[in-house]
């Protein structure tokens, strides 16, 4: 029997992904791996999820600091990461309010340390950019009864929006959304993304047995819009500094900021919605709107 060539095992491992271009195949594989790990940590416990969000935020802190101030590490990055750590710990101990205060203090300190670089405001903004999502997601997940489902809904809304926007933009094309900031984004991608998020929200209600279909469809659409705004904001930051990606830590995707930009804004929006409806039961408030 003739021996298999070195290429044959690779093709068999690729399986159903063989029809995809190599770059897109890499994106799918790495994205799936990250999704599995995130789901496992989210399902495991609030504490495990807090560890995951801290690690991701740490990577984002490094990327933001490198983009804004250049050579890393520096004292600002150390304070930045310590602030994110404090935010994660305080939130895990049911002190989300104190976590927000700690984040603001950390942002002020990092901004003061970066005064000489002329990029003080952006350095401060980076602390809030990475710490507030850690607080928002941790606070939602800490809700004992519906924390897992509420946090999962937020993450899925962003993921569905991103995937559908990419697919619609590639297949339909059309007028550009904001070419000066993100030359590849189209209006068809935006509408396809948020429309699919609305459909996914309604399906989430039926599959999970929580919330109302209309409410979760509306919420999914709203979070999709906010997520796309976060994507554009991160693109504007990179474009300002002449960068295509925030980093290269995720194969096929760039940096963690490139993948979490929508979740940053959507998670904060979701936490604010939950807080405005019922601060004592934010997950239930988010899923049921009451």
- pLDDT on residue 256: 85
Q: Name the pTM for this structure.
A: 0.87
- Alpha-carbon span 172 to 70, nearest angstrom: 38
Q: pLDDT value at position 127?
A: 97
Digit-coded pLDDT (tens) for 206-222? 999 999 999 999 999 99
pLDDT at 76: 93
Q: What is the pLDDT of residues 237-254, one digit of tens each?
A: 988 888 876 766 655 556
Radius of gyration in angstroms for the set of CA atoms belonging to the chain, rounded to a whole number: 20
Separation CA 103–CA 139 (nearest Å): 15
Give the C-alpha separation, 258 to 250, whole Å: 9
What is the distance between the alpha carbons of residues 47 and 119, in angstroms, rounded to a whole number?
Answer: 34
Q: Which regions in the chain score pLDDT beneath 70?
A: 1-31, 116-118, 245, 247-254
pLDDT, position 7:
44
Question: So what's the pLDDT on residue 5?
Answer: 46
């Amino acid at each position: 029997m003739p021996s298999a060539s070195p290429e044959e095992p690779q093709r068999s491992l690729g399986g159903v992904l063989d029809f995809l271009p190599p770059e897109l195949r890499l994106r799918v594989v790495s994205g799936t791996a990250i999704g599995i790990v995130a789901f496992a940590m989210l399902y495991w416990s609030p504490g495990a999820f807090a560890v995951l969000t801290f690690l991701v935020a740490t990577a984002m802190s490094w990327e933001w600091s490198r983009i804004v101030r250049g050579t890393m590490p520096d004292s600002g990055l150390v304070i930045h990461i310590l602030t994110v750590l404090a935010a994660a710990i305080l939130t895990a101990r049911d002190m989300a309010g104190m976590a927000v205060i700690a984040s603001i203090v950390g942002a002020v300190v990092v901004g003061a340390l970066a005064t000489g670089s002329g990029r003080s405001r952006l350095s401060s903004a980076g602390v809030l950019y990475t710490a507030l999502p850690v607080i928002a997601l941790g606070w939602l997940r800490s809700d004992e009864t519906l924390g897992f489902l509420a946090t999962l809904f937020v993450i899925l809304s962003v993921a569905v929006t991103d995937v559908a926007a990419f697919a619609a933009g590639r297949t339909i094309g059309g007028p550009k959304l904001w070419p000066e900031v993100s030359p590849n984004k189209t209006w068809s991608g935006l509408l396809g993304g948020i429309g699919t998020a609305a459909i996914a929200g309604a399906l989430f209600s039926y599959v999970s047995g929580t919330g109302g279909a209309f409410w979760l469809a509306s919420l999914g659409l709203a979070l999709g819009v906010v997520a796309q705004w976060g994507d554009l904001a991160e693109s504007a930051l990179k474009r300002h500094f002449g960068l295509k990606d925030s980093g290269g830590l995720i194969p096929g995707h760039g940096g963690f900021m490139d993948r979490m930009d929508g979740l940053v804004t959507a998670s904060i929006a979701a936490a604010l919605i939950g807080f405005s409806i019922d601060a004592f039961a934010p997950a239930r408030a988010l899923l049921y709107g009451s």
